[in-house]
Structure 1
Amino acid sequence: MELLVRYLDRSNSICSVSTQDIIKEDTLRDDLKYYFMSPCEKYRARGQKPWKLVVQILKIVMITTQLILFGLNNQLVVSYKEENMMALKNLFLKDYSGVDEDDYSVAVYNQQQVYDSLFFVLDQYSQLGRLSVGPISYAEDEEGKLLPLILCKEYYKRGTLDPSDEAFNIDSELETVCMSHDPKTANQWKTQNSSFFDLDFYRLVDIRATFQLKGINLQTVRSRELPDCYSFYVTITFDNQCHSGKVKIFLDIDAQSCACRDWKISGTAQKNTHYLLVFDAFVILVCLTSAVLCTRSIILAVRLLQRFSRVFHENYNHKVCEDDQKEFLNGWYVLVIVSDLLAIVGSILKMEIQAKSLTSYDVCSIFLGTSTLFVWAGVIRYLEYFQKYNVLILTMTAAFPKVLRFCCCAGMIYLGYTFCGWIVLGPYHEKVNSILVCGEALRLEK
């Protein structure tokens, strides 16, 4: 950088340089000084309007507004899934208290409680249409038939156990037996499958009840948006892997949203969707403009660097050092271009979601959130033109490598502490212990 400053301040009184070369150098010096000016200085020097600054300010406002609108809609989606989880737990889990005990929902401790809880799931499933207060129902296949509940029990193939004599004979190979339960045959499932419910608890590993439900998120109508249809893949697990006399009952839901096949809605929801699509299209246009302007600035900077390097080498027989070359490559422009690309992709995904062609809320959130972060971080570039802020930015830039080295050293100590605490104290913590048990179960299954 010192070499570049000396060149800008260098006088033209050099005898060995021709008049034409002096004019060329003067032009190059003017261009170099102009390149390193702030937008306000450029406007005062040549009357160039700061279009990039105007576009960046407009982009910040629009992308932030877009993110807020999408975040409010995504919040409705998340709350709908969470409340359905609570509703289904209250519907299908007997004696559910409303507060999960650690990682599981309910625990039972004797055989009669296991049977009661299992039969309760089947009875509630048969009466779902009369019990649920939400817009939820059984799922159907392509032919219009109701999808049944599938109940599977997994147990050791054979074995004998006598704790009093401290003797056992267990075949570690697991067997799985399944049955299906149709809501229309609710009165027959106990009599037709009585042998299935003859459980040998000392051999029983787990029981899984899986079924699929359909629902519609109508709350988005209040926000003047089209509702989404959902498929809920519900799994209820009676976990007896530990064989400790405590059977844990889990209820897990995999909720997948999709576009409703047949819908009709009156009011302003569809009109509001059109307005949002137009707004997103305008955001894409602004981001494209910003990306084009920043790309143009990078190209001009590279050409200016080539001119400077060529003149400096021809007239002074010196090569521009790497530090001076880096001054021409503005990293802020790269950051802005990356944020523009992320915002464009996120806006396209948002438009597809609003048009109900996609339901990738999480992916869209990543693109929009990251682009907004980069856009706001890019504002720091304009703070460099103020002396007080520039000192802070220079200090942070100089200290950043040392901070990274400190984080690496602290990270090594933290990892060592984490592994030590995990093996020494982890088995005595319920959540860590459940993770260890699940990991061991997965290893045995493989």
Structure 2
Amino acid sequence: MSNITPEHYCANLDCDSDDDYDNNNDKEGYNEMNTVDNKQQASDKCNVINPNSVVVNQRRQKMASDYPSTNQLGLDKTMNDNITNQRKSYNHVNNTATSTTEEISFTGVPTSSSQPSASSSSSQLSPMSAFNEDRMRRKLQFFFMNPIEKWQARRKFPYKFVVQLIKIVLLTMQLCLFAHSRYIHVNYTWDNRVSFSHLFLRGWDDTSEVESYPAAKGPFALYFQDEFYDTIDYAVAGYKNLSRSIGSYSYPTQDNTMPPLKLCIHHYEEGEIYGFNESYTFNPIINVICTNLTSNLTDSRTYLADKGIDIKFSAFVQATLDFSIKTVNLKAAGPIAPPDCYQFDIEILFDNSDHDGQMLLSLDAEPIRLQCHGDALYKTDTAIDRALRSLLNGFVILICVASFSLCTRALYRARLLQKQTDTFFRVTYGTPLSSDDCWQFVNFWYIMIICNDILLILGSILKEQIERENFFNDQWDICSVFLGVGNMLVWFGVLRYFSFFKTYNVVILTLKQSAPKILRFLLCALMIYAGFTFCGWLVLAPYHIKFRSLATTSECLFSLINGDDMFATFSIMSTKSQLLWWFSRIYLYSFIGLFIYVVISLFIAVIMDAYDTIKKFYKDGFPNSELKRFIGQMHPNDFSSGIFRTYADEEEQQSIWDTMKTVCYLCCGLKRKENPGPTGYETLVTS
């Protein structure tokens, strides 16, 4: 061994590229050596074996600065012994290539059929392979640490934790402001809709304003032809006398003059019914006739006849009466918030599509927010209010982008480590990672955070458009869904940090343990529930108000499972058919007894079984997979020993700012300056 020089060792590395590096457990170094462009770079990498090389001297200086208590003589001896062992390991591979099948190769994989376990293989590995195994173990131990342990081990600042805390504060502020604005908007539009119903709908009363279940009265409808024309005349007269109303309403014209109302009639091209001899003439093509109703209208029947419009109610499908009103909401004004200006597009609908003798009458008011040109005193305050809201929206978008980037980078690094670990297990132990061990590298908390970041970014963009008064009415609903679901997932993500404590982690582990069984159980219960739902809808729909549609049937049965409104469900059933009355009793008793006393009890038992299992694991220990046995247990002193800083790769030592610079370089298509420091292979050899 003393006759082998560093130059001869490097020559062997250059000549035997594939076989020797496959036997070597350092795949990272192997890949880097294959990408060497010229002999000068190859010789620089081989200098690491020379005890007097620049790289080794730099390593001595680093270790001396990290451990000042170590004397220089002992340090040199340690470095030289390490290099000597590496040389011996390489020559050991070449000398034992034709050994028997019972010997252990350089990588520590036995050539016989019996494979050593991960926990007992260290004593059978060569010095280089033992070093690689210890390095991989430290990387995995650091990967599965929580943020507090990572701070103790490597002084790694918990960026993701801090970002989530800031995001919760900003999102809660944003959500409160948006919820307040949305409530004012929705409540104001609903109150105006009620006012318009009193002003423009003939026969409207207060009982129709309250949505009760069951309904206190029947549908608001017309039953005579004269009522149809009288309702049109009443709406035109109410629009003409708009200035007499209590509300501050105006016409949508510039000079505040009354514009014409637009009446559109939808009817079949041909529809005659002769009930006395059970015959009819029918053409399903629907024609639309529209006309304007001016302010001098007094009798709509005569007015339409003069226009040549003859309404045949046997062919009548529906009619709409459209007009607009402008107003200002002073209630929305605050210390720095100005009033809101609206235009309401009102539509009165006469619905005769069922042809059952009832022409349903309804009014809908679509609000459109307008740019106010009001008091000059509010101009400066309005600018401040909009600037503050826009600033908050910008901060939320910025913090969500940062959270998205951090979690995406963490998932990407976890994927790389999973592939590296799988390769290590294949080469070292001759077996790949199991599917359960592979899933250990997937952090579903990060996936949930990425989802809520996307929702919150979209919701914040819509909120900014709404506050800039550049929006449609339905954007209030879309924005509220995005912000609401995103904020809900953000608060769910806080559970991840509670899981670091044993007391709170029991709940999370119980849900995780019972989730597969719960899904299988619910799938079976869903089949029974679907059978009862379709049966109740088909049989009881004509005789029970709660079974009129498939949706209401499902809602009724779900309420019965939770013990809600049972007596009313039994008593509302019609007694017109004695057969169906008895069927309803058998049907309801069977469903309630089966789901309340059997299905729900089994559901609770599944969760309690998972809870007992978790408690047993805490008492007797959790089951260990091959990956967990390889990682092993950590001593509390390991966190502060500095060993994890020693084993850190260059990529792991990158800060968030380095990552952002890398992303900027990739986005701009620029070539980043190469780091003149040691590569991953040199770090592996010189460590």
Could you tell me the TM-score, scaled by structure 1's length?
Answer: 0.81
| 1:413 match | 528
The structure-2 alpha-carbon separation of the partners of 1:10 and 1:343, relative to structure 1 and needing over 3 Å to count, comes to farther
| 1:444 match | none
123, 148, 168: which one aligns with 1:60: 168
Q: Is 1:269 aligned to residue 377 of structure 2? A: no
Q: Is 1:72 aligned to residue 180 of structure 2? A: yes
246, 250, 275: which one aligns with 2:362: 250
Q: How does 1:76-225 map to 2 (within 5 A)?
A: 76-100=184-208, 106-128=220-242, 130-140=243-253, 147-154=259-266, 165=276, 169-172=280-283, 176-183=288-295, 185-186=296-297, 192-195=303-306, 204-222=316-334, 224-225=336-337
Deviation string for 1:324-374 (max 9, x for gaps)? 121112121121122222222222222222222334222211221121121
Please give the alpha-carbon distance, in whole angstroms, between the structure 2 residues aligned to 1:410 and 1:158: 51
The structure-2 alpha-carbon separation of the partners of 1:427 and 1:273, relative to structure 1 and needing over 3 Å to count, comes to same
User: Is the 2:459–2:479 Cα contact (8 Å) retained in structure 1?
Assistant: yes
Percent of residue pairs bearing the same amino acid type: 34
Q: How does 1:341-352 map to 2 (within 5 A)?
A: 341-352=454-465
Deviation string for 1:203-246 (max 9, x for gaps)? 65544322233344443323744555444332223344555554
Instruction: Identify the range of structure 1 (229-238 vs 310-319) with the bigger mean alpha-carbon deviation.
Output: 229-238
The structure-2 alpha-carbon separation of the partners of 1:161 and 1:287, relative to structure 1 and needing over 3 Å to count, comes to closer
Q: Which amino acid aligns with 1:235?
A: E
The structure-2 alpha-carbon separation of the partners of 1:364 and 1:334, relative to structure 1 and needing over 3 Å to count, comes to same
User: Is the 1:154–1:206 Cα contact (8 Å) retained in structure 2?
Assistant: yes
Instruction: Identify the range of structure 1 (57-66 vs 231-240) with the bigger mean alpha-carbon deviation.
Output: 231-240
Give 1:306 shift. 3.1
Please give the alpha-carbon distance, in whole angstroms, between the structure 2 residues aligned to 1:220 and 1:378: 34
| 2:435 match | 322
Q: Which amino acid aligns with 2:490?
A: V
Deviation string for 1:32-69 (max 9, x for gaps)? 11211222222222333323212212211221221121
380, 383, 404: which one aligns with 1:291: 404
The structure-2 alpha-carbon separation of the partners of 1:257 and 1:324, relative to structure 1 and needing over 3 Å to count, comes to same
User: Is the 1:93–1:106 Cα contact (8 Å) retained in structure 2?
Assistant: no
| 1:12 match | 122
Greater per-residue strand proportion:
1
Please give the alpha-carbon distance, in whole angstroms, between the structure 2 residues aligned to 1:30 and 1:84: 67
Q: Which amino acid aligns with 2:536?
A: G
Please give the alpha-carbon distance, in whole angstroms, between the structure 2 residues aligned to 1:264 and 1:282: 31
User: Is the 2:333–2:340 Cα contact (8 Å) retained in structure 1?
Assistant: no
The structure-2 alpha-carbon separation of the partners of 1:386 and 1:194, relative to structure 1 and needing over 3 Å to count, comes to same
478, 484, 489: which one aligns with 1:374: 489
Please give the alpha-carbon distance, in whole angstroms, between the structure 2 residues aligned to 1:239 and 1:430: 22
User: Is the 1:230–1:258 Cα contact (8 Å) retained in structure 2?
Assistant: yes
| 1:49 match | 157
| 2:540 match | 425
Q: Which amino acid aligns with 2:469?
A: K
User: Is the 2:266–2:289 Cα contact (8 Å) retained in structure 1?
Assistant: yes
Q: Is 1:21 aligned to residue 132 of structure 2? A: no
SS in 2 for 1:137: coil
Could you tell me the TM-score, scaled by structure 2's length?
Answer: 0.55
Instruction: Identify the range of structure 1 (420-429 vs 30-39) with the bigger mean alpha-carbon deviation.
Output: 420-429
Please give the alpha-carbon distance, in whole angstroms, between the structure 1 residues aligned to 2:389 and 2:202: 45
SS in 1 for 2:122: coil
Please give the alpha-carbon distance, in whole angstroms, between the structure 1 residues aligned to 2:407 and 2:342: 42
354, 359, 363: which one aligns with 2:467: 354
503, 514, 519: which one aligns with 1:388: 503
User: Is the 1:228–1:257 Cα contact (8 Å) retained in structure 2?
Assistant: no
Please give the alpha-carbon distance, in whole angstroms, between the structure 1 residues aligned to 2:132 and 2:272: 98
Please give the alpha-carbon distance, in whole angstroms, between the structure 1 residues aligned to 2:373 and 2:246: 22
Structure 2: which 5+ residue stretches go unaligned?
A: 1-116, 551-687
SS in 1 for 2:145: coil
Q: Which amino acid aligns with 1:314?
A: V
Please give the alpha-carbon distance, in whole angstroms, between the structure 2 residues aligned to 1:156 and 1:367: 42
Deviation string for 1:392-446 (max 9, x for gaps)? 22221122122222222333333333333223232345698799xxxxxxxxxxx
User: Is the 2:536–2:547 Cα contact (8 Å) retained in structure 1?
Assistant: no
User: Is the 2:537–2:548 Cα contact (8 Å) retained in structure 1?
Assistant: no
User: Is the 1:216–1:227 Cα contact (8 Å) retained in structure 2?
Assistant: yes
CA RMSD, aligned part only? 3.5
The structure-2 alpha-carbon separation of the partners of 1:37 and 1:97, relative to structure 1 and needing over 3 Å to count, comes to same
Give 1:90 shift. 0.7
User: Is the 2:537–2:549 Cα contact (8 Å) retained in structure 1?
Assistant: no
| 2:444 match | 331
Please give the alpha-carbon distance, in whole angstroms, between the structure 2 residues aligned to 1:314 and 1:242: 74
User: Is the 1:105–1:250 Cα contact (8 Å) retained in structure 2?
Assistant: no
SS in 2 for 1:427: coil
User: Is the 2:189–2:367 Cα contact (8 Å) retained in structure 1?
Assistant: no
Structure 1: which 5+ residue stretches go unaligned?
A: 1-5, 436-446
SS in 1 for 2:322: strand
User: Is the 1:104–1:249 Cα contact (8 Å) retained in structure 2?
Assistant: no
Please give the alpha-carbon distance, in whole angstroms, between the structure 2 residues aligned to 1:431 and 1:315: 66
The structure-2 alpha-carbon separation of the partners of 1:305 and 1:200, relative to structure 1 and needing over 3 Å to count, comes to closer
Please give the alpha-carbon distance, in whole angstroms, between the structure 2 residues aligned to 1:65 and 1:201: 55
Q: Which amino acid aligns with 1:76?
A: I
Please give the alpha-carbon distance, in whole angstroms, between the structure 2 residues aligned to 1:148 and 1:43: 73
The structure-2 alpha-carbon separation of the partners of 1:132 and 1:304, relative to structure 1 and needing over 3 Å to count, comes to same
Please give the alpha-carbon distance, in whole angstroms, between the structure 1 residues aligned to 2:508 and 2:409: 25
User: Is the 1:213–1:232 Cα contact (8 Å) retained in structure 2?
Assistant: yes
Q: Which has the larger radius of gyration?
A: 2
Please give the alpha-carbon distance, in whole angstroms, between the structure 2 residues aligned to 1:175 and 1:291: 53
Give 1:99 shift. 2.7
Instruction: Identify the range of structure 1 (244-253 vs 257-266) with the bigger mean alpha-carbon deviation.
Output: 257-266
Please give the alpha-carbon distance, in whole angstroms, between the structure 2 residues aligned to 1:431 and 1:166: 37
Please give the alpha-carbon distance, in whole angstroms, between the structure 2 residues aligned to 1:104 and 1:88: 21
Please give the alpha-carbon distance, in whole angstroms, between the structure 2 residues aligned to 1:307 and 1:175: 70
Please give the alpha-carbon distance, in whole angstroms, between the structure 2 residues aligned to 1:431 and 1:87: 31
Please give the alpha-carbon distance, in whole angstroms, between the structure 1 residues aligned to 2:471 and 2:319: 35
Instruction: Identify the range of structure 1 (307-316 vs 223-232) with the bigger mean alpha-carbon deviation.
Output: 223-232
Please give the alpha-carbon distance, in whole angstroms, between the structure 2 residues aligned to 1:434 and 1:177: 34
| 1:403 match | 518
